[in-house]
Amino acid sequence: MAIRSYLQAITDALREEMERDGNVILMGEDVGVYGGAFKVTEGLLEKFGPLRVIDTPISESLIGGAAVGAAVAGLRPVAEIQFMDFISCAFDQIVNMAATTRYRHGGQYKVPMVVRGPSGAGIHGGLFHSQNSEAWFARVPGLKVVCPATVRDAKGLLKSAIRDDDPVVYFEHKRFYRSVREELPDGDLLVPIGRAKVARAGKDLTLVTYGGTYYQSLEAADRIAREDKAEVEVIDLRTVLPIDYETVFDSVRRTGRLLIAHEDRATLGVGAEVAARVSEHCFEHLDAPVVRLGMAEAHNAYAPTLEEWLLPSTDKIVDKARQVLKY
């Protein structure tokens, strides 16, 4: 057992998978000599050499396209987007190429690639270094989309993603890199893609979350238990494509109430789909309207006070939860 940070867990996953499988390669801007913008890949160039840790030009479309080609050719590329805001530049390669290859070729080809990088707000990164882009990809057949919040999941889900034969888009919340630590077991740690986790049991309200609002949701549930004597069940989706609806449905059928909180905007976000599915499959079990909480319908802000106003928080989750509980 060892105490590892969220960032160290990701580095460990990359190193272990590169040691396990010689076909795993890394590529991206500054992943080699510099060790990555956040130092996630630090030391890997020295260990594995420039043929497996590849510094690319500043071109996300090139990174995405090269990863698709390498994957089809038999490698298992892990492509880093230095900030996931700029994954939009590789949208065509990921959505129109990687996601469709197995389908277009009748299953004869697979694309075992991972596109990973820092996502999310709360560090005063401004407009182009704070976005949550997961909903752009969460509706694309052929992709898997992962948003880990805990140290254990950051490592275990990345290892599973690298071993997966389909393309995985892997969003790491940059606010957690050095702020979150956890004791991890020795040995091979795998967390299955597509399974949610009940992070806190409860009987009065289901709170579905993932990524940047995970710890805020747990804090909110603790506060409501102390101050309102109500028990909130917190479910961490972990994977937003595919979503583990059965875990969500089972919880809602027991609690009768649902609040969904995520850092991304609510409009056409992951929470909108969860709300729609619950309304379709659990309507007769609901005792209150399904409620969503996301960031304000605006672009990310640089000023700390304005960014705080835009984003979900523990206080905002508590307020929404109380509205649902009192309905």
Rg (CA), the chain: 20
Q: Which two tokens stand for residue 286?
A: 């609901």
Find, among 178, 70, 74, the residue nearest to 115 by Cα: 70
Strands 258-265 and 239-241: unpaired
Give the SS3 label for residue 125.
coil
Neighbouring residues of 276: CB distance < 8 A, sequence distance ≥ 6: none
- What are 162's two structure tokens? 């690298």
> Sheet of 53-55: strands edge to edge?
53-55, 24-28, 76-80, 114-119, 168-173, 144-146, 239-241
Q: Which two tokens stand for residue 75?
A: 């490698």
171: alpha, beta or left, given left = phi > 0 and alpha = psi -120 to 50? beta
The answer to whether residue 129 is catalytic is: yes
Which residues share a beta bridge with 54?
27
Residue 168 pairs in a beta bridge with: 114, 144
Catalytic residue among 124, 129, 262, 299: 129
Nearest to 275 by CA among 259, 298, 255: 259
Which ranges in 182-269 belong to alpha helices (H)?
A: 214-227, 245-255
If you write DSSP's letter for every residue of 89-110 in order, what string do you get?
A: GGHIIIIIIITTHHHHTTTS--
Length of the chain as a residue count = 327
- Which residue numbers are catalytic? 129
